Amino acid sequence: MISTHIGYYSLLLGFIISAILLFYSIFYFKKNNQKINQNIFSLLFFQFFSVVISFISLVYSFIISDFSNATVYNNSHSTKPMFYKITGTWGNHEGSLLLWLLVLTLFIFLFIIFSKKQPTKYRFLSIFFQQIIISGFFLFLLLTSNPFNFLFPIPNEGLGLNPILQDPALAIHPPILYLGYVGSSIIFSASLASLVQNNINKEWANHIKKWIQIAWFFLTIGILLGSIWAYYELGWGGFWFWDPVENVSLMPWLCLTALFHTVIVLEKRNLLKSWTIILSIATFTFSMIGTFLVRSGILNSVHTFANDPERGVFILIFLFSLILLSIILFFIYQVNESRLEKNFFLISKETSILINNWFMMYFLSVILIGTTYPIFLEVITNEKISIGPPFFNKLIIPFLILFLIFMALGPNLKWIKDSYKNTKYSRIFLFFVCIFISFYIVKKTSSEILFISILGGAALYLLFITINEFLNRKNNFSQTISHFGFSLFVISILLNSLFSSEFSANMKLGQELVYKKEQIKFLKIKSIDKENYKSIIANFEIKDEKKNITSLYPEIRIYNQPNILTSEADIKTTIFFDKFIVINLLKGEEIFNVRYQTKPFMIWIWISVCLISIGGIFSVLKKN
Amino acid sequence: MTRPIKYILLILFFILTFQKPSIANNISFEVDKISKNLRCLICQGQSVYDSQSDFALSMKKLIKNKLEDGKSEKQIYLYLKNKYGEWIVYDPEFNKKKFNIMDISIDFIYFWRPINL
Amino acid sequence: MKKNIFYLSILLFFTFIFTIFYIGLDKPNFYKPKEVKNKNLEEFISTELFSNKQFNSKDIIQSNNFTLINIWSSWCAPCRSEHAILMNLSKKTDLNIVGLNYKDKKNNAIKFLDELGNPFSKNLIDPDGVISISLGAYGVPESFLLNNQSRIIKKYIGPLTSDNISEIIKITQ
């Protein structure tokens, strides 16, 4: 009861501070203050602190199951385990936005601490732009999705949390993803500030680079965690489905990856200034578009858990005001750039980074169009269509071949000007050897044999080149490991999709089936009552040709609040294979539908993404 | 013999060793392939392949029956589109009325090009 | 001048996107199938639940002016509530009501009909759900009203309501 009051008023306080900061930052900016004074500093801290208080009081309301709070009532239940009471705080719309706000205020606070070497005016402006975003989110929370609404009369019991969200991954996936999303907001404000101050140069690039890398790192890890979660929880054994919500997280990632590379050109050569600014603006815009698409429920998705069109209108207006603001600023403060033609040579590192950008923008456009096209078509022609995996695979995978090749060649080029005369024939030879190897691997599997062997070959080629670079310590470590990770990523996905096998059948207790040299036996079944669900655990035994026995325990959970049935897969992971089994209750029968899959190199997909992000964190830690 | 020629010959050798492979085309593989491209209508976000709902299970059986009757993949899509509408397929065909989505994608690359280049 | 046009077109572009998203927000995000009109029901052959005889759907439909095909199952809760309405309809009119028993066990289906009454003139079985899919059904319960040419006059997704029933009576008389 009292915590709801505290939470609400500290949220209000945070908003007021935001208004004061907006005024102060522009006031001092005009006054040509030499230093950021202590006032601003403490205000920023207080703002962060008030959001922290507000967040903690919401967590507290969840912990004590205070159902006088509408958010708690809608998303919690007294029998829910303590861990999920806490994580459930951000497992809903209001709470997740409060978390978003928390990260926003944290980032600007840290930004001001770590940007002491930068010009004061630029720092004032960064605060100003960031406060526009922050106050927008404050308003959004207070007006449309207040987490501290009272309910009267006080209900005895809550409605419970969606069982799919009752998973340990809820504790880390959203916060880390938000660090990535929100991290892009600081890039947005900083780049607008430096645009207005006309201070886009090598030093600025060097300073903003770290923030880009941090945001990129968290976004990568956040997407990875989401993907792993979907893999074991949603019960289909897939890890990426080109679902709108997944696409929406990939769009800012692609933008940020492009920016990651472009900012290096700016740092080293003082080129591509306006392009860097555009990418910075676009990255945050795509994060916001993501929020809009997910939160408004405009799209059909398996991951959408809460939506409300009214909120959609607010985000939409807010989003387009930010876009409008940045476009206007971009036109007023145009960047004077030295003409690129004079400074760019066809064969150089700059060009290869530009090529990277082209690919990123192409992938981004495909995903953007594929995701939003159904909305456009429905509004214009009232027809409903679905755009799914086949569309994305068709438009993205062929371009991956070229992308991989450029990725292998690019980093070895010199800045400013290089020559193709340095090309070693052994490199070309290696490429064909790679294609040949991959041809022999995929020979018996697919119908598009030539295409897949070339794709696999290109990935292998990148793999060998990066290993070679690593051994000779030719390029910087972080870049090599990220590119190596990417090649491993493509190879693992390729092998995974080619050699996955699946078996689905209806089985009774005690039944035994043979599938591709493997014996699957349904041994036991038992049911256990847990805190807030009843669990039916089956025991399967899988005997392979070498008589190795694997025991698997898939589970069906019948939750009481809300009354929902979920299937929990059991996965046995080894270096080469994942054995994945999931069961479903068939209606009106005592038979279970059993789905058993072997998924090769699953673990390598996760490892490779970790390697990619390790590259990112190494660049952050690297001293200049 | 100069080095480049030597390499080119080796490459030619490799290309020639590519033979047309025999493709094991069994029905369950086809069922998987087709059902991955169909949206499970009652579960919104999932594909028929991924879903374990009654609708999806029956749908898979129907696809199998149709394949055994000798229907092609395209005929099956057409059959289902007739019954359930365009919404069921994940890879809609784009006729002239609905703009060409490939064209739009290519236009977008142009739009996104780094400024001044 | 050229630059102004460029800026203007960008602004227009974003306004356009804004408008589309704004209108899109109001659209329902669940899929509602379109009315099927002037389509014929696909012919099918199935076994009768009680007599175990094989029937061709065409023969059943042709012999009556109108036929209502109702997809049901003993495990589906809405079917249970719908059943009273179907019983009512079968008592009031002499409409030919044909049941299609979706993915059910024979014993359960017979028990269900014993308990709640049997409104169906014939009860065909669909053990693996393939027939229902080939008819274009979404799930249970679902009903099709057909004329003697197998043409679909009306399709009802979900349980029939009393309003639907009066509509059916109006059409068939």
Q: Of A55-69, A266-280, C135-149, which range is least confident? A: C135-149
**C21: nearest CB among A327, A331, A375:** A375
What are the pLDDT digits (tens) for A127-147? Answer: 999 999 999 999 999 998 899
pLDDT given for residue B11 in this prediction? 63
pLDDT band at A45 (very low <50, low <70, confident <90, very high): very high
Contact A11, A148 (CB under 8 A): yes
B9 assigned to some structural domain: no
For residue C101, being part of any structural domain is answered with: yes
Contact list in C for residue A324 (CB cut-off 8 A) is: 11, 14
Number of domains comprising chain C: 1
Q: Chain-wide mean pLDDT for chain A?
A: 87
- The CATH code of the domain that includes B93 is 1.10.8.640
- Facing C33 at nearest CB: one of B44, B62, B84: B84
Which residues of chain C approach chain B closer than 8 Å at the C-beta?
30-31, 33-34, 102-103, 128-130, 132-136, 138-139
Whether residue B70 is predicted with pLDDT greater than 70 in this model: the reply is yes
Which residue does chain A place closest to B49, by CA atoms? Answer: A236
**Separation CA B31–CA C133 (nearest Å):** 16
The Cα A370–Cα A394 span in angstroms is 12
Q: Please indicate, yes or no, if residue B4 is contained in any of the structural domains.
A: no
Between A83 and C157, the more confident residue is: A83
The SS3 assignment for C38 reads coil
pLDDT of amino acid B117: 37
In this predicted model, what pLDDT tens digit does every residue of A8-36 receive, in sequence order? Answer: 999 999 999 999 999 988 888 888 767 77
pLDDT in the model for residue A21: 93
Which domain does C92 fall in, by range? Answer: 45-172
Which domain does B63 fall in, by range?
24-111
- Strand-pair category, C152-157 with C142-147: antiparallel
* Model-level ipTM above the cut of 0.90: no
What total of structural domains would you count in chain B?
1
Residues of chain B with Cβ-Cβ distance to A383 below 8 Å are 86, 98
- d(C-alpha A473, C-alpha A460), whole Å: 19
Q: Is the pLDDT of residue A152 over 60?
A: yes
CA distance C105 to C49: 10
Distance CA C51, CA C63 (A): 19
Say what the pLDDT of residue A624 is. Answer: 57
Above 70 in pLDDT, residue A307? no
Quick check: B83 and C132 CB within 8 A? no
Q: Is B7 contained in some domain?
A: no
Least CA distance to C108: which residue of chain A?
A: A588
pLDDT at residue A255 greater than cutoff 50: yes
Lookup: tokens for A429: 């030879």
Nearest CB among A320, A376, A378 relative to C14 is that of A320
3-class DSSP state of A518: strand
Output the pLDDT for position A6. 94
Q: Which of B87, B109, B112 sits opposite A386 (nearest CB)?
A: B87
- Within 13 Å, how many C-alpha atoms sit on residue A558's CB side? 9
A130 Cβ contact partners less than 8 Å away, ≥ 6 residues apart: A104, A107, A108, A111, A185, A186, A189
Q: How far apart are CA C141 and CA C123, in angstroms?
A: 14
The dihedral built from the CA positions of residue C72, C73, C78 and C80, taken in this order, carries a sign that is: positive
User: How far, CA to CA in Å, does A206 sit from each of A213, A253, A333, A416, A483?
Assistant: 11, 20, 21, 19, 22
Nearest chain A residue (CA) to C105: A588
Environment class of residue A252 by beta-carbon count within 10 Å: exposed (0-12), middle (13-18) or buried (19+)? buried
Q: Could you give the percent of chain A with pLDDT greater than 70?
A: 95
The radius of gyration of chain B's CA atoms, rounded to the nearest angstrom, is 22
> pLDDT of C88-147, one tens digit each?
888 888 888 899 988 888 888 888 888 888 888 888 988 888 888 888 888 788 888 888
Could you tell me if residue C30 is inside a domain? no
In a domain, B15, yes or no: no
Bridge partner list, C47: C54
- Both tokens of A374, joined, read 């159904």
CATH number (domain holding residue C133): 3.40.30.10
Low-confidence winner among A250-254, A393-397, B81-85, C69-73 (lowest mean pLDDT): B81-85
Q: Is residue B1 part of a domain?
A: no
Over the stretch C18-46, which tens digit does the pLDDT of each residue have? 998 888 887 766 666 665 556 778 888 88
Within 8 A of B37 by CB-CB distance, chain A residues are 388-390
CB contact under 8 A, B58 and C130: yes
**Does residue A531 sit at the C interface (CB-CB below 8 Å)?**
no
Give the whole-number percent of chain A exceeding pLDDT 90.
41
| Residue C150 confidence class, pLDDT cut points 50, 70, 90 | confident
What residues contact B32, with CB distance under 8 A and at least 6 apart? A502, B49
Q: A375 — contact with chain B (CB < 8 Å)?
A: no
C contact residues 32-91, partner A, Cβ 8 Å cutoff: 73-75
Kindly write down the DSSP assignment for every residue of A383-405, as one continuous string.
------HHHHHHHHHHHHHHHHH
Question: Distance between CA A354 and CA A346 in Å, rounded?
Answer: 11
Phi, psi of A76 (to 5 degrees): -140, 170
